Amino acid sequence: MKAVLLDTSAYSGFMKGDPDIKLALQQVDEIYLSPIVLGELMSGFQKGKYRKKNEQELVAFLSSPRVRTLQIDDGTARRYAVILNSLWAAGTPIPTNDIWIAATAMQYGFHLLTTDAHYTKVPQIIVDFFPIY
């Protein structure tokens, strides 16, 4: 059984029909999202002109039996601190929300599907990077 954590950028790519991301998601048994990803998506929907459509698509996506939302807890926070300090020491900062998402991937041992290259700077996680051309 293979499970993945889906980043905001990969969800967006999937919804736009990116064939590589679609194939990657077809090959896994379980798809997980962080509450941080849900917050980023909802924030983007509120600013966009297709809010209702995007919210309906997200509800449909979340209703799949293969999709689950994870919790953020003290274990996530400890991993956040490890990743943040590692990035500071290396001089390779990434956005704060993405550190939380990476900490979630680290906590559960899931591959992180993303189109954001900066996740490759996080040595504590396995990143499935799908560049956008």
> What CATH number is given to the structural domain containing 45?
3.40.50.1010
Residue 132's pLDDT is what?
79
Domain that holds residue 65: 3-129
Q: Which residue intervals of 1-133 are DSSP H helices?
A: 8-15, 19-26, 35-47, 51-62, 74-90, 96-108
Q: Which residue intervals of 27-70 are DSSP H helices?
A: 35-47, 51-62
Q: Is the pLDDT of residue 60 over 90?
A: yes
Number of domains the chain is built from? 1
Q: What percent of the chain has pLDDT over 70?
A: 98
Q: Is the pLDDT of residue 133 over 70?
A: no
Residue 112's pLDDT is what?
98
Residue 131 to residue 133: CA distance in whole angstroms: 6
Indicate the pLDDT class of residue 1, thresholds 50, 70 and 90.
low
Note the pTM of the prediction, 2 decimals. Answer: 0.94
